[in-house]
Structures are given as C-alpha cells and as structure tokens.
Structure 1
Amino acid sequence: MLKVEHLSKSYGRGKRRKNVLHDINLSVGDGELVGIVGESGSGKSTLARLIMRLEPVDEGRMSFMGADDFYASCQIVFQNATAAMNPSWTVRDILKEPLRSMEGNRDVYISKMLGKVGLKEKHLERRPSELSGGERQRVNLLRSMLVEPKLLICDEIVSNLDRLLQKEIVELIQRLNRETGMAILFISHDLKVVQHLCDRVYVMEGGWIVEESVKQEGRFSFTHPYSLMLFE
C-alpha cells in the first residue's frame, strides 16, 4: 500500500544545512499494524509529515497504491489533540468539516459512527476545552476515520495520556484495525505500547532506519546495538 524508497530530508542552507533523514526505506501493507520507534530527535515525526505530503522531500520517492484521493485515503492523527481542533467549534462542527463534500445527511452519519470510538451524542455539543484528554484524542481519531482512510498514521498519540487512557486508545486502534481493515502506521517512543500493538516495527536512530523486525510468537527480535539498548 505505502512504499517509501531512499527518502532523505534536510533543513537549512550552506554550513547550517542539517540532514535529518537519511535513505529511508519502509512499507506498510494492506491492513498492517506497523510501528516506528526511536528516541526524541530520531526523525519519526519528520518522516510522518513527509509521508503525509505536508513537506517536500529532498531525495527519494513515495508511492501510495490504489488511491484516487490521497488525502482521503491517508490520514494522520497528531500528538497534540488540543492543537488539532478549533477551540471555538463544537465537536459536531469539527466532525462535519471533513465531510463538507459528502452527499446525504452528515449528522446521521456522524451519530452512527460515534460509538466506534466510545463517544456519545452528548459530546457533539461540547467544545474541545470541555473534553478530557482521552475524549479529545477520540474525536481526532473519529474525524480521520469518517473519510474511511486506507492508512491511518498515529504520531505519538498516546504519549500525553496516562496509562489507563493509553490502554483504552491502543485497544480502540486494534479494534478499528480489525473491523475496518485500515492499515496503521504507529509512531511512538513508548516501546511497551509498540510491542503490544504492532506486527512489524522499524527502529530509527539519528534519522536512519537501523533495523526492521517482524513479531514472532508475540515478540520482536533485534540484533542492532541501538535496538537492543532501546528494548532491553
């Protein structure tokens, strides 16, 4: 579905030019749960922005198979749930916005979908400031799901939540993956969450992908020193 080949990215000019991504190769297949892990500054979020075409690449190419409308077929949920929402809008307004070209009754469709992310009708008239952190992230997830994407990129979406809310959001993502067949690219520095959620994982260090591992018998195996350091 998604294929990234030899992707590189740098910022600045001349002596201040800094390379932040180096020769990145990765893929996500139909319905896969794929993780990207690494410490802060490893390039994970920059890679997410490039995949979403929010920034241009310097070198390399990306292809997204079987999609007539990339921005409907590939969606992203960011770490800061509050910043991703207009504070003056109600949840209903926020959810209706991506459906502005939809034919039919948007309110009926939204009401039908609320239960999939554990929200209720009462949440529709609330504004972001009236929601808990977990509720805000559920709204962002639902907003992305409403256009029925083939791939959802989750960029550190549980890092600001406590462990109980993290567990609820991770279980929600697993269920959405099972029920819709939507592929997930899950970016996180939380290794326990990635170990639990993902079937395959890429390890990033200093803008490089240093290792890829496929889960076997419920666990990942690594050989690169950096990967071993992270997971041990």
Structure 2
Amino acid sequence: MLQVENISKSFRAGQQVLANINLSVGEGEIVGLVGESGSGKSTLAKVIMQLESANKGTVHFQQQHITKKNRKSFYENCQIIFQNASNALNPMWTVKQLLREPLQHQNLVTDSYLQTMLAKVKLSNDVLHALPSELSGGEKQRVNLLRSILVEPKLIVCDEIVSSLDRLIQREIIDLLMTLNKERNMAILFISHDLKAVSYLSERIYVMRAGEIVDEQHKEHDGFHFTDSYAQKLFQAMEGE
C-alpha cells in the first residue's frame, strides 16, 4: 500500500536527516518505526505526508507516485495523528465542530451519527459540546483519532501519539488502534520511541538510527529478533526495565 523508496533529506545547513530510507506498509498491516529522539522518525512522517519535501526518493501510495495533482485523494486515504493533541485542535471549536469539519462535504452529519462514532473511541456524548480546553489529554487524543478515522482512511500514520499520556491511557489508545485495525482493515504506521508500546502493537518493526534504517524484523511467536547490534541494545535495555 505505502512504499517509501530511497528517501533522503538534508536541511539547509547541510545536515543530513534521512539517508536512503526504504519502508513499506501493506494493506491492513501494523508497522512500527522506532528510534531515539533525533533519529529522523518525525521528519520521515512529514515527508510521507507531503508536509516536507525530500531531496531524493519517492513515496508511492497504492502504486501511485504522490504528486500535487493526486494529493487530495492521498489525504482522503491516508491520515496523520501528531503527538501534541492540543495543537491539532482549534481551541475555539467544540468537539462537535471539530468532528464535522472533515465531513463538511457530506450532506448530512447528524448528532446521532457522531454519537455512534464517539462510542467507537470510548468517548461520552457529553464531549460533543465541550471545548478542547475542557478535555483531558487522553480525551483530546481520542478526538484526534476519531477525526482521522471519520473519513475512513486506508492508512493512518501515528507520530508519537501516546508519548505524553500515562501508561493506562496509552494502553487504552493502543488497544483501540488494534480494534480499528481489525474492524476496518486499516493499516497503521506507528512511530514511537516507546519500545514496549511498539512491540505490543506491531507485526513488523523498522529501527532507525541517525537518519537510516538499520534493521527490520517481523514478529515471531516469541517476539522480535533483531540482527543489528544497535537494535539489539535498544530492545535489551527495554527488557531490563
């Protein structure tokens, strides 16, 4: 479904952020992307979503090279959720207005429909009339998630979406993603430095270091077995926690 081929990117100062990145996400697949802060994960997410341009390489979605001409169709099928839930929500809009916005081209969006969708992300009907400032961090991220899935995308890119939440809320959001994946066959690219969360959620994991993919492994019955020494050290440290 998603094919990232030989993506490289440098900033104006000449600092290379991404170097020959190759990555894929299949239909209905959950793929993790891990690495320490500064490894280039979020920059790669922005390049995939066409929010930043690459110096080299291509991004294909459903076998089509993404260009300005087909970007609208791409965004209908691929959504991104960012780490900072507050920044992604207009503080002057109620949740009802926030949820109606991605559906503005549909003729009729009833409160009943929105309430049904709220239940899918375990939010009460009361939040419909609330402003973002009246929501908890977990509730804001659920609203963000719901805004993304309302357009029924085939792929969502989650960029550190649980890193600012406590462990209980993290687990709830991750379990919700797994449910959505099963119910809708919705593919997920889950980007995080939280190795436990990624290992629990993902079927396949890429490991990034200093702008490069250094390892890629599929989950086996007893977990992941990485061959790169850096990847091994990362996950051994997790096991020791």
Q: TM-score, normalised by structure 1?
A: 0.96
Call closer, same or farther: CA 1:113–1:11 in 2, change over 3 Å. Answer: same
Q: Quote the Cα distance in structure 2 between the aligned partners of 1:107 and 1:47.
A: 37
Equivalences for residues 28-39 of structure 1 within 5 A: 28-39=25-36
Which residue of the other structure, out of 98, 109, 115, is the alignment partner of 1:111? Answer: 115
Q: Which runs of 4+ in 1 moved over 4 A?
A: none
Deviation, structure 1 residue 107: 3.3
Which residue of 1 is the match for residue 155 of structure 2? 151
- Indicate yes or no: 2:125 matched with 1:121: yes
State the secondary structure of the residue aligned to 1:167: helix
Long gaps (5+) in structure 2: 65-69, 237-241
State the secondary structure of the residue aligned to 1:231: helix
Which residue of 1 is the match for residue 186 of structure 2? 182
Equivalences for residues 54-203 of structure 1 within 5 A: 54-65=51-62, 69-203=73-207
Name the count of aligned residue pairs.
Answer: 229
Which residue of 1 is the match for residue 41 of structure 2? 44
Identity of aligned residues (%): 57
Q: Quote the Cα distance in structure 2 between the aligned partners of 1:86 and 1:5.
A: 35
Which residue of the other structure, out of 20, 23, 26, is the alignment partner of 1:26? Answer: 23
Give the aligned residue type for 1:50: V
State the secondary structure of the residue aligned to 1:4: strand
Q: For residues 11-33 of structure 1, give each alpha carbon's deviation from its aligned partner in whole angstroms, at most 9, with x where no partner exists.
A: 11xxx211100000010000000
Which residue of 1 is the match for residue 3 of structure 2? 3
Q: For residues 43-90 of structure 1, give each alpha carbon's deviation from its aligned partner in whole angstroms, at most 9, with x where no partner exists.
A: 000000010011111100110007871011000000000011011110
Q: Quote the Cα distance in structure 1 between the aligned partners of 2:146 and 2:200.
A: 22
Q: Quote the Cα distance in structure 1 between the aligned partners of 2:199 and 2:50.
A: 28
Give the aligned residue type for 1:214: H
Mean Cα deviation higher: 96-105 or 79-88: 96-105
Q: For residues 184-229 of structure 1, give each alpha carbon's deviation from its aligned partner in whole angstroms, at most 9, with x where no partner exists.
A: 0000000000110000000000000000000010400011111011
State the secondary structure of the residue aligned to 1:161: coil
Is the Cα–Cα contact under 8 Å of residues 99 and 106 in structure 1 kept in the other structure?
no
Is the Cα–Cα contact under 8 Å of residues 90 and 127 in structure 1 kept in the other structure?
yes
Give the aligned residue type for 1:3: Q
Q: TM-score, normalised by structure 2?
A: 0.93
Call closer, same or farther: CA 1:39–1:93 in 2, change over 3 Å. Answer: same
Long gaps (5+) in structure 1: none
Q: Quote the Cα distance in structure 1 between the aligned partners of 2:10 and 2:53.
A: 10
Q: Quote the Cα distance in structure 2 between the aligned partners of 1:115 and 1:66.
A: 34
Q: Quote the Cα distance in structure 2 between the aligned partners of 1:42 and 1:150.
A: 27
Q: Quote the Cα distance in structure 1 between the aligned partners of 2:42 and 2:110.
A: 32
Which residue of 1 is the match for residue 67 of structure 2? none
Deviation, structure 1 residue 120: 1.6
Deviation, structure 1 residue 105: 2.7
RMSD (Å) for aligned C-alpha atoms:
1.2
